[in-house]
Amino acid sequence: METSQRIKKMREPALLKYYPIVNEAQKKGRKVYFLNIGQPDIKTPEGFLNSVNGIDQKVLSYQAPEGITELREAACGYYERLGLNYDINDLFVTNGGSEALLFTFIGICNAGDEILTAEPLYSIYKEMAAATDVNLVGFKTYAEDGFALPDESLIEAAITPRTKAILMTNPGNPTGKVFTKKEIEVMVKLALKHNLYLISDEVYREFVYDKQGYLSPAQYQELSQNFILIDSISKRYSACGARIGFIISKNKELMGQLKKLCQMRLAVSTVDQIGAISLLNLDEHFFDGILKEYTQRRKIVYDALQNIPGVICKEPRGAFYFMAKLPIKDASHFIEWMINDFDYQGETVLLSPANDFYLNPEDGADEVRIAYVLNGEDMRKGMSILKYGLEAYRLAFPEVCK
């Protein structure tokens, strides 16, 4: 029995392939610090559980395809606090940010159409493009200059008659990049000039350091008909297990079309929607302590990386990831070796190989992504283990080290 070409084109996330060997290592009594995935350890705000624990609906019925009105209103209130004026008709609730992206790809692209985005990129964009017959086209950004946007002319050169959108992730996963005003204006300008959608995936919006203000194409009135905002409560409220996202646009024709995709899957979880209302109603100060915690973690990782010879990375300005070049030739081999053959006082770390974050899996061979989602002490230990691991790896495999 055949399966489709489009599903065959999809790939499993590279990070999953390590779980069997991680299990083996754990069975041998080795402790593994998981720096590979973006699952925060921060407590989910109490309002979610309080709401869920208090639900007393006798019949758990379908909610409206567009989402519960009270949740959509709470979301509008949240955006208002960011200075964005959205009406509930500009906004649908989705099964996580993932579904918001899926609906966007289906809604604006025919099979064979193109979406332009910066590399390294969030790996799931690739799988979603394959599943929907969209061609993702990448322009490269680099660790050496903190993943700055390349020259406008270079991006423009990648636009073809089949390009339907520019997709940006701000702050970036896996890069931690936060786009500057100048960089955002380049993308706004290109979208307007070439009549493209600009899709901004802002699920890490609150994770911006060094007192930067909120900067987004959402703030450019002239772009409103071209602009699609993708959002999710997963990272902001440490509520990944509640599948609540949003697809947002002031383009009424587009939203009228996207509504049909919401109707196609009937509804989003009633319980998750009820739980999410209280989260969206939290004021911005709920994040103060979390930001402080992540700022400390970032410093721990950055200081540690600075002390490892041959590592190339700028301090990221957002999200909770470092994308770093290590002085090795094959990060996958190094990551496996760390789990199978290395420990420091019985402990080791699991990192993400960066080739998952490029369209061509041969790119990023010397890069890893480090998620700083553990508490300060664990992050500090994890970084020491990485340092000792690299030293031992250099002795064991000098020929694949730089």
Site for its own copies in 52-71 (CB under 8 A): 52-63
For position 163 contacting its own copies by CB under 8 A, the verdict is: no
Taking CB atoms within 8 Å and a gap of at least 24, the contacts of 7-12 are 7/130, 7/131, 9/130, 10/127, 10/130, 10/131, 11/126, 11/127, 11/361
The neighbour count for residue 122, using CB atoms within 10 Å, is 21
Least Cβ distance, residue 18 to its own copies (angstroms):
14
Taking contact as CB under 8 A, which single stretch among the options 138-146, 182-190, 233-241, 335-343 is the one that binds its own copies? Answer: 233-241
Residues of this chain, 120-139, that bind its own copies according to CB under 8 A? 124, 127-128, 131, 133
Nearer to its own copies, 124 or 365 (CB): 124
Query: 3-state DSSP call for residue 312?
Result: strand
395 makes contact with its own copies (CB under 8 A): no
In our burial notation (b when 16+ CB lie closer than 10 A, e otherwise), range 268-296 reads bbeebbbbbbbbbbbeeeebeebeebbee
Which region, judged by CB under 8 A, interacts with its own copies, from 201-209, 263-271, 319-327, 385-393? 263-271
Contacts with its own copies in 80-99 (CB under 8 A)? 95-96, 98-99
Give the end-to-end CA distance of the chain in Å, rounded to a whole number: 47
Find tokens 């609150």 and name the residue.
Answer: 206
Residue 121: Cβ within 10 Å count: 23
**Residues in binding contact with its own copies, number by CB under 8 A:** 80
Query: Crossing angle, helix 123-131 and helix 96-108, to 10 degrees?
Result: 50
Phi-psi region of 112 (alpha: psi -120 to 50; beta: other; left: phi over 0): left
For the record, the structure tokens of 145 come out as 């200059």
CB 48 to its own copies: min, Å = 7
| Three-state DSSP class for residue 284 | helix
Rounded to 5°, the CA angle 136-219-251 comes to 65
CA gap 198, 165 in Å, rounded: 6
Question: Segment contacting its own copies (CB under 8 A): 139-147, 261-269, 320-328, 335-343?
Answer: 261-269
Q: Determine if 257 is a binding residue for its own copies (CB under 8 A).
A: yes
Least distance CB 229 / its own copies (angstroms): 15
Whichever of 175 and 234 has its CB closer to its own copies, that residue is: 234
Q: Which of 270, 296, 340, 384 is the binder for its own copies (CB under 8 A)?
A: 270
Q: Does 8 bind its own copies (CB under 8 A)?
A: yes
Q: How far apart are CA 224 and CA 58, in angstroms?
A: 42
194 binds its own copies (CB under 8 A): no
Binding test (CB under 8 A) with its own copies, winner from 75, 76, 187, 254: 254
Which lies closer to its own copies via its Cβ, residue 141 or residue 226?
226
Helix%, strand%, coil% for the chain, nearest 5: 45, 15, 40
Q: Which of residues 344-373 bind its own copies (CB under 8 A)?
A: none
When binding is defined by CB under 8 A, the residue of 93, 109, 280, 370 that contacts its own copies is 109
Half-sphere exposure of 36 (CA within 13 A, CB side): 25
Q: Which range binds its own copies by CB under 8 A, 38-46, 294-302, 303-311, 326-334?
A: 38-46
Quick check: 199 binds its own copies (CB under 8 A)? Answer: no
Q: Which is nearer to its own copies, 3 or 360 (CB)?
A: 3
Based on CB atoms, which residue is closest to its own copies, 85 or 224? 224
